[in-house]
Amino acid sequence: MTGYKELDRTRPGDTDEASCRRSGHVEGGGCVVRQYNRIEPAAVERPPGSPSSEPIHLTDAVVLKPVSFSVEDASAEEYRLLVSAVRSRAAEAGFSGNAGCGEGRVRYLPVNVQLRGLSIELYVEFLSQNAGARIVGFRNTFENGQAPPEAYFRHVRDSVAPPGIRRTAALPFGGGRPALEAAADARHTALPLGRRPMVNAVIWLHRNRDPKCTARGILVLSEMLCAAARFPLLADEVSRIWMTGALLSTATRAVA
């Protein structure tokens, strides 16, 4: 039986989807937390061979307490709780009603997704109420959620790493939906959602061997986390197809 838990840590050319697929195993659960930590601006260290060796400084960024989710045995209700956690973090960070973060401010929510034998940490970026949320990057972690010292944070090229993360590498595509679709060579409407698609997405990001697969993974996770948190109807339908996996209905796509 799985459940939610709080992480005890503080965070400073193949078009067929089958080309990205590989079987994997995962575990179920997650956590909801209620506080966030202010992190002072930090320089971002770029890896050797990156386009620019100049450090980028974040001016006013906040990293929220992490949310943890395990997937293999997770139920549809546990997925609902995960989406609710992302939605509540957005509200507590100042994105409810007419509130906004203010110009130049950004919130990052770490989401640690665990599979049996591997784990990744996604970073969801909240920029403003109108802009919504998006996944800006990820890094491989140990199963306890801690990142190994040699791990690079892989971020979309139109973003920078959250404060406190110094080893970074830019992905060859942006983080908006059109850029992800172009890099994935697939429309978001053509990708199935559900538990197994989420497992596959995590494996693609953990391996990070093919930019097309990585983009597809981010696209799937963006729909299942960010879009679902913004549109309850989408979250409801993903919950219904959680066990089997499927494309969203035309009616839901028209709304979300």
Which of 9-13, 36-40, 107-111, 132-136 shows the lowest per-residue confidence on average (mean pLDDT)? 36-40
Amino acid at 144: N
**CATH code of the domain in which 144 resides:** 3.40.420.10
Q: Summarize pLDDT for 149-160 with one digit per residue, the tens.
A: 889 999 999 998
Question: Is the CB of residue 208 less than 8 Å from the CB of residue 214?
Answer: yes
Residue 163 falls inside a structural domain: yes
Residue that the structure tokens 């109420």 belong to = 129
Type of residue numbered 245 = G
- Number of domains comprising the chain: 1
Residue 104 forms part of a structural domain: yes
Q: Model confidence over 157-181: pLDDT tens digits?
A: 999 899 989 899 999 999 999 999 9
User: Which amino acid, one-letter code, is at 254?
Assistant: A
**In this structure, is residue 14 part of a structural domain?**
no
Helix, strand, coil percent values for the chain (each to nearest 5): 30, 25, 45
pTM of the model: 0.78
Is residue 159 in a domain?
yes
Mean pLDDT of 210-215: 98
**Whole domain around residue 182: which residue ranges?**
3-7+20-255
Residue 15 domain-assigned? no
Is the pLDDT at 90 greater than 90, yes or no?
no
Residue with tokens 């906004």: 100
Q: Does residue 184 contact residue 197 with C-beta atoms inside 8 Å?
A: no
